Structure 1
Amino acid sequence: MKLTQITARDIPDAWFQAINAVVNDGFEYKIDRGSYQGSKRRELDFVTIQIEYPGTKPLVPDIPAHLGLIPPASEEYVQDYLKYLMTSEKQENEQYTYGEFLEPQLFEVIRMYKEDGLMTNQACMAVCDTNSIYLEDPPCLRQVDTRVRYGKLHFYVYFRSWDLWGGFPANLAGLQMMKEFMASEIGVDDGEIIAVSKGLHLYEYAWPLANIRLGRK
């Protein structure tokens, strides 16, 4: 098993470095079960990504126009995605939303820090339940752990599976906005994001897009 560690300044930098890591070191395999079944993924064995200034704007990658690529997310999309993260609202075609798990917990985390004190390791939010394993597509984001240290609120997030092209930019931008809200409510500064995953991948359709983004033929 190869453990990959990335230290990035902001979310777009983390995305670019992660693309480079997956293209260069990703394990290639055919998908037996899951999204794009029968297609291929290129995936890192395990990755830790430390983002030191995740609040730096823009939150979503700004791809140079001459590359001719459509950005994987927009500020408008992230605003809509934030509701998926922070509210229990669910559409008829959705098996679950992250928000149905996170909404009640995030306000308890805020209360915990404000009323019980900042020095605790208990402010961890789970994104699944015992029935999640039976879903056709179980949640990818599974945990949003938190810590207040050095006067700042930090997030530690775990993705069991993570689409680097189609999910990563919006996921992290939305989580960053949620963190900023929580930090403001708690009365501390905004801090870092440390993201980990044993399933950060590029689907086969995105391989040529990744090479273009890296400036390769």
Structure 2
Amino acid sequence: MSMKYPPTNLIQAFGLADAWAQAVNFVMKNGMEIKTEYGPMSKDICSVIEIREPFAEPMLHPQFPTKELHVKEYLRQWERDYDWKKQGFEYNYMDRLINYPSRGKDVDQLKAIKDLLPKGVSRRRQAITWIPERDLFVPEDQPCLQRIWVRAIGEGNAEMHCMWRSRDLFAAWNSNMVGLVTMIRREVLEPNNLKLVKVVDFCNSLHIYEADWEAASKVKPLPKSPQMMR
């Protein structure tokens, strides 16, 4: 019996590496096969992934296909002084977050969130990347990350939710998340003496491309440690 639509799944994980392996295993087993805009097939789900310890080691799963050296180079893209135009990119997540165009003036959304967090518990601290007048009409190179939401929840703790329209699970998710949580800790949380105790990652389309199916089918979960069993 063929699927009518991609399944929606909740994954609850200890750390980022654990979450990546669980998600890969689920998509390979249950993902709907959908042809992409580029032509190749993909296995696709809608996902909600909860991570309890986002900085638990290892942050990168041993079978994540991007080598650690390349991940370190990628993490530079989440820094304020990264020259993304020089690298030939059409956009950059960090640039959208700290230079979001609004009424002729760029808005540093991360600084605003950092400055507003000490003012008390609020559900209004968020940053966006989508620029409708550009991103709805260009044929490609739109940001996958759409929104970041941060809330201080008392006792020096904070949570972050992030929303993505599209995500390459096998080749990008793990490094994406390492970059994002590291940046949020540096830019928003540490200046306010806050600890990130929960991450929720939403994906409209979390997918694995057909070219990666064979390698993805070999991904193994991390061995369970006493910490992970909490």
Q: Report the Cα offset of residue 76 of structure 1.
A: 3.8
**Distance in 2, Cα, partners of 1:191 & 1:86:** 22
Question: Which residue number in structure 1 is paired with residue 42 of structure 2?
Answer: 41
- How much identity, in percent, do the aligned residues show? 24
TM-score (norm 1): 0.86
**Distance in 2, Cα, partners of 1:84 & 1:159:** 17
* Aligned partner of 2:146 among 120, 137, 142: 142
Q: Report the Cα offset of residue 179 of structure 1.
A: 2.4
2:99 aligned with 1:99, yes or no?
no
Question: Which residue number in structure 1 is paired with residue 157 of structure 2?
Answer: 152
2:136 aligned with 1:133, yes or no?
yes
Show the 5 A alignment for 1:178-193. Answer: 178-181=183-186, 182-193=188-199
Q: Report the Cα offset of residue 214 of structure 1.
A: 4.0
Over 3 Å counting, the alpha-carbon distance change for 1:149 and 1:77 in structure 2 is farther
Matched length: 201
**Structure 2: where are the runs of 5+ without partners?**
99-107, 222-230
2:208 aligned with 1:213, yes or no?
no
Q: Deviations over 1:149-180 (max 9, x none)?
A: 13312110011000001110110011111122
Equivalent residues of 1:144, 1:155 under 8 A apart: yes
**Distance in 1, Cα, partners of 2:218 & 2:13:** 21
Question: Which residue number in structure 2 is paired with residue 68 of structure 1?
Answer: none
> Counterpart amino acid of 2:74?
Y
Over 3 Å counting, the alpha-carbon distance change for 1:214 and 1:59 in structure 2 is closer
Q: Report the Cα offset of residue 74 of structure 1.
A: 4.3
SS at match of 2:60: coil
Q: Report the Cα offset of residue 75 of structure 1.
A: 4.3
What RMSD in Å do the two structures reach over aligned CA positions?
1.8
2:85 aligned with 1:83, yes or no?
no
Show the 5 A alignment for 1:164-183. Answer: 164-181=169-186, 182-183=188-189
Q: Report the Cα offset of residue 78 of structure 1.
A: 3.6
**Distance in 2, Cα, partners of 1:51 & 1:74:** 23
> Counterpart amino acid of 1:113?
L
Over 3 Å counting, the alpha-carbon distance change for 1:184 and 1:169 in structure 2 is same
Equivalent residues of 2:150, 2:159 under 8 A apart: yes
Over 3 Å counting, the alpha-carbon distance change for 1:183 and 1:170 in structure 2 is same
Question: Which residue number in structure 2 is paired with residue 67 of structure 1?
Answer: none
**Distance in 2, Cα, partners of 1:58 & 1:41:** 28
Q: Deviations over 1:95-115 (max 9, x none)?
A: 10001111321111101113x
